[in-house]
């Protein structure tokens, strides 16, 4: 291996690592706020990438129909609940949020897709179609079980992952897609060729992390999420609704997931089930941080990206084996450094 290859692999590793870091942050966020280990994060990556790919082909993405269907299911649940509690005044808002909005997005996508709008508009439309699925999934699958144990919530997550992967197959088919790069620019930096796309990825990741930081530090909703993460009951007593915190954290996770998908789609071919492995690599990073520390999770995810880049150079067939076996030394290390007292659950 010469310096050129080594540098290229570092660039490649950091590019992928930046995406894993984003996912790791979202996983830590969701776990801290809701205690949900968010396995379906990967499906949002795949949905984001494939929705954008459909739009670029001028086709109506299947996620538009999925959004309408999920909206319908949520609307039914919410209406039943509202009527049972006698809160008729809530009905118009429920209809607006869960039926009119998804229908409007479907109509917009139907009208806009064949005209192939500018890339920025396509990205915004793709996010608009995928991100609302986040809170809807929370409402449908997790909210009724919000007080269950971490393990029950984890099994729910795996079930949701199963269902969403299957739906991905229905709506996007078995063929993979790769979207054109955001930028074809290449810069020569010494012996290294820096590609515009990897700058895009790293830049967007950094920007998103900064935006999250500002959100958590300076907005009331960000503070509410932090409060919930630190003390669920305490936050509830001062008026932070757990359902709101859950939906908000899932919205953020869906946004991060879909955006990661959009960023990674020009680098690698995405299939309906590719998200799972990508999401899990974020997980390996998050576990390095013990599912609680944001900076260590991000560093762990970068490490996963680098390891993957070098593994694919040295032993490409064993790439996945090496990346996922990394979890074993991490677990050994954690098992000797944490003194855990088993909390009683259920």
- Residue 158, helix vs strand vs coil: helix
Please say which residue, 162 or 216, places its beta carbon nearer to another protein.
Answer: 162
Please say which residue, 155 or 194, places its beta carbon nearer to another protein.
Answer: 155
Spatial contact of 130 and 48, defined as CB atoms under 8 Å apart: yes
φ/ψ (deg, to 5) at 272: -60, -25
Shortest CB 220 distance to another protein, Å: 30
User: Which positions lie near another protein, rule CB under 8 A?
Assistant: 37, 39, 140-141, 144-145, 148-152, 154-156, 158-167, 169-170, 173-174, 277, 280, 283-284, 287, 291, 317-318, 320-321, 324-325, 327-328, 331-332, 334-335, 338, 340, 342-346
Report in angstroms the alpha-carbon separations of 14 from 182, 193, 209, 252, 319: 18, 14, 15, 23, 16
Shortest CB 239 distance to another protein, Å: 27
Shortest CB 337 distance to another protein, Å: 10
**Where are any strands of DSSP class E within the chain?**
186-189, 192-195
Please say which residue, 140 or 299, places its beta carbon nearer to another protein.
Answer: 140
Shortest CB 342 distance to another protein, Å: 5
Shortest CB 67 distance to another protein, Å: 16
Rg (CA), the chain: 21
Shortest CB 278 distance to another protein, Å: 12
- Residue 193, helix vs strand vs coil: strand
Shortest CB 227 distance to another protein, Å: 22
Please say which residue, 128 or 279, places its beta carbon nearer to another protein.
Answer: 279
- Residue 37, helix vs strand vs coil: coil
Angle of helix 196-218 relative to helix 3-34, nearest 10 degrees, comes to 30
Please say which residue, 93 or 277, places its beta carbon nearer to another protein.
Answer: 277
Among positive and negative, which fits the CA dihedral 325, 283, 266, 45?
Answer: positive
Residues facing 193 on adjacent strands: 188
Please say which residue, 35 or 247, places its beta carbon nearer to another protein.
Answer: 35
Please say which residue, 120 or 316, places its beta carbon nearer to another protein.
Answer: 316
- Cα separation, 74 vs 91, whole angstroms: 13
Instruction: State the burial class of residue 77 (Cβ atoms within 10 Å of its Cβ: 0-12, 13-18, 19+).
Output: middle
* Tokens 């269950």 belong to residue: 148
């Amino acid at each position: 291996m010469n310096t050129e290859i080594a540098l290229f692999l570092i660039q490649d590793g950091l590019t992928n690592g930046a995406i894993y870091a984003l996912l790791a942050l979202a996983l830590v966020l969701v776990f801290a706020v809701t205690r949900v280990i968010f396995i379906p994060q990967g499906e949002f990556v795949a949905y984001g990438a494939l929705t954008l790919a459909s739009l670029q082909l001028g086709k109506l993405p299947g996620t538009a129909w999925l959004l309408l269907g999920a909206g319908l299911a949520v609307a039914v649940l919410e209406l039943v609940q509202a009527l049972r509690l006698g809160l008729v005044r809530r009905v118009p808002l429920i209809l607006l949020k869960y039926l009119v909005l998804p229908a409007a997005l479907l109509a917009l996508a139907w009208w806009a897709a064949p005209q192939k709008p500018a890339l920025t508009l396509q990205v915004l439309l793709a996010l608009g179609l995928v991100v609302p699925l986040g809170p809807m999934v929370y409402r449908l699958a997790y909210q009724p079980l919000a007080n269950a144990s971490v393990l029950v919530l984890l099994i729910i997550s795996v079930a949701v992952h199963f269902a969403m992967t299957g739906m991905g197959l229905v709506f996007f088919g078995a063929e993979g897609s790769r979207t054109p790069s955001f930028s074809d620019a290449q810069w020569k930096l010494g012996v290294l060729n820096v590609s515009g796309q990897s700058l895009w990825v790293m830049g967007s990741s950094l920007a998103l992390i900064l935006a999250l930081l500002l959100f958590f530090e300076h907005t009331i909703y960000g503070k509410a999420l932090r409060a919930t993460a630190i003390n669920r009951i305490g936050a509830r007593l001062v008026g932070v609704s757990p359902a709101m915190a859950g939906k908000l954290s899932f919205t953020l996770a869906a946004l991060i997931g879909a955006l990661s998908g959009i960023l990674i789609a020009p680098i690698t071919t995405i299939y309906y089930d590719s998200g799972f492995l990508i999401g899990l690599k974020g997980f390996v990073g998050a576990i390095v941080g013990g599912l609680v520390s944001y900076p260590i999770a991000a560093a762990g995810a970068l490490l996963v990206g680098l390891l993957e880049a070098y593994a694919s150079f040295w032993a490409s067939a064993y790439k996945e084996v090496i990346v996922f076996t990394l979890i074993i030394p991490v677990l050994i290390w954690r098992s000797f450094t944490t003194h855990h007292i088993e909390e009683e659950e259920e």
